[in-house]
A and B are shown apart, each in its own frame.
Chain A
Amino acid sequence: MKILVGIKRVVDYNVRVRVRSDGSGVETDGVKMSINPFDEIALEEALRIKEAGNAEEVIVASIGSNACEQQLRTGLAMGADRAIRVDHDGPLQPLSVAKAFLGLVEREEPGLVILGKQAIDDDNNQTGQMLAALWGRPQATFASKIVLDGGSATVTREVDAGLETITVDLPAVVTTDLRLNEPRFVKLPDIMKAKRKPLDVVPLADLGGEAGHDLAYGNFAPPPKRERGIMVEDTAALVAELKNRGLL
C-alpha cells in the first residue's frame, strides 16, 4: 500500500503574525516558514504505518512554487520515500487543492491519504473532507488514533463530546489532530540522504487545473485588542470582584 501525505508551507507557528498596513494580508516577507504542524503529524503517522510493515511507500506532496521544495525536503529527511511538487504560484482555495489531490490520487492510487486537519494560516479545515467527497471515499477527520486491519481502518476521532470511533474501508482520507503522535526530529545524516531522494514537479494544469468558485478575500484587519484591566491585592479581593461582576 502507498500512503499519500499532503504538506503545506505556512508561517511558522512561533511567529507573531502581523497584518500588513494596507490590509492586503499578513506579513510573510522575511518570516520563518515551516511545514504546517498538523501535516507534520500526518507524515509521522504515515512513516509509523510503513515502519510497522503496513505500507510500502510514503509520498509527500505539496502545491506551490519552488519555495515549498524546502518543506518537501524536510519531509524526505523525516523519512518519506519521494516527493511531488504541484507547481502553482499564489494561493489556492480548498476546493482547488482537493481537486489537485484527486488528480494525484488517480495517478498514484494510494490506499490511504493522510492530511492535516487544517492549515494554521487560513484555518479552513476543509481540504480532506472535500477530497473525500470528490473521490467518493470515506473520511475520518481529526484522528487521534489509527488502527489498520486489512482493507479497513478503525479511527478514533477527537470530537467536542469526547472520542468517537468509526471504521472506514480503504482507500480513505484521514485528517490528523494533535494527539495522534509526536513527530520525530530530523537528524543531519537524514538531511543529506534526503537530497538524493526523488522530487518530481507536476504542473497544476496536468491535474485538471483550478476548480473555480473561489471566495473573494477582501480586507484583512488585526483583531480587536483586549485592554489591561485592574489588579487585585489578594484572593479575597479577587472573589469579591468576581461576585461583584456576577461571574461567581
Chain B
Amino acid sequence: MSKILIIAEHDGDTLNPGTAKAVSCAQAIGGDIDILVLGEDITEVATQAAAIDGVTTVHATSAAHLAAPLAANWAAEIAAAADGYSHVLAPSSTFGKDVLPRAAALLGVNMVSDIAAVDGERSFKRPVYAGNAIAEVSVPDGDTVVATARTASWPAAKEGGSATVNERPAASEDAGHTRYVGLESGGGDRPDLQTARIVLSGGRAFGSAENFEQLYTVADKLKAGVGASRAAVDAGYVPNDMQVGQTGKIIAPELYMAFGISGAIQHITGIKDAGTIVAVNKDADAPIFEIADIGLVADLFTVLPELEQQLG
C-alpha cells in the first residue's frame, strides 16, 4: 500500500490551502497520508495540518535553519524525511515548484510536475504545452514518486480530522550558503490572482493605465483579483506580474471576467480551468466569445460604471 508524505506549505502561522489540495490528490492515489511541517515554532501550523480529514500523522520539525522555506535547507530535510515513504507530494505553488525538484534530485529520481488527475498509484495525467495537451505519465517501479499536485485541479480536503502530531527532530543542518532576507507582499489588499475566487482582467482596449482604475474599482467591490492580457502588459498599462496566460499566470478562479480582451490562444490557455468565464467586448467576432460561458457585446467603458453602480 502507498505511504504518502505531504509537505505542508505555510507562512509560519497559517497553513496554505494548497496543502489540503495536495491531500485530495493523495486521497485519489490512496494509502496512508502523513504531513511534514517544517519551520520554527510551528505548533499552530501542525495543529491546523492535523485537522485535515484523512491524515494519519503530522510530523513537525522545528529548527532555526528551517524557519524560512529556503529550498537549499528544506529539500535536504524532506529527502531525509522521505525514507520509508512511497510518495512525496507538495502543492504546485511557487513553494512546491521551488523545493520539491531539489528534493527529487537528492533522492535521485525524476519528478512529476502538476498532477491534474490520478490514473493509478504511479500513473498520472499532467498538462504540458501550457495545458494545450494532457500527457499520461508513470513513475518507474522502485523509484519514490515525487510530485506536485496542480492546485487548480484539486479541491481542498475537508477539515474534521484528528491526526497525531509527532515532534520529529531535524535530520539536516544549515546549508550555510543561502540566507532569507524578506517578503514583500504584492498587490496591497487585493487578493492574489492564484487564489482569488473572482478575477477581473483587462485588455488593450483600456487604452491607458489610468483607465484601468475603473477595473480596480469594480474589482475591489467584488473582492476580486485583477489580471491583464499580454497586450495590456506590453502596452505598459499594468505591470508584468498581472499577466494572465501562457507566459504569465495560469489561474482557475470560480469566476473570471474578461473586459476588452480579444482572446488570443496565449491568454485562453491561462484561464481555461476557470469555473465560469464572462467576456465583455465590443467586437462580436472576438474569439473569446467562443469559450465564454456568458458573453456581452458592449463597450467596457459603458459596462464598468454600470457594474459599479449595480453592485451597490
Contacts and interface: CB of A to CB of B under 8 A. Distances in A.
Interface in B70-122: 70-72, 75, 93-95, 97-106, 108-114
Contacts of A238: 278, 280, 294, 296, 303, 307
Nearest to A93: B110
Contacts of B280: 238
A235 B113 CA distance: 41
Interface residues of B, number: 91
Interface in A115-167: 120-127, 129-134, 137-139, 141-142, 144, 154, 157-167
A25 B128 CA distance: 10
B220 to A, nearest CB: 14
B72 A138 contact: yes
B207 interface: no
Contacts of B192: 160-161
A166 B179 contact: yes
A116 B72 CA distance: 19
Interface of B: 11, 70-72, 75, 93-95, 97-106, 108-114, 123, 127-140, 143, 175, 177-187, 192, 194-195, 198, 222, 239-241, 243, 246-248, 254-255, 265-266, 272, 275-278, 280, 289-298, 302-303, 306-307, 310-311
Given A161-B186, A162-B185, A164-B183, 7 more contacts: A126-B104, A161-B192, A162-B187, A165-B182, A214-B110, A222-B134, A247-B254
16 contacts: A37-B247, A95-B108, A120-B130, A123-B130, A129-B98, A130-B105, A132-B102, A211-B110, A213-B109, A215-B110, A221-B134, A223-B127, A226-B272, A230-B294, A235-B298, A242-B294
Interface of A: 11, 13-14, 16-17, 19, 25-26, 37, 93-95, 98, 120-127, 129-134, 137-139, 141-142, 144, 154, 157-169, 172, 178-179, 211, 213-223, 226-239, 241-242, 245, 247-248
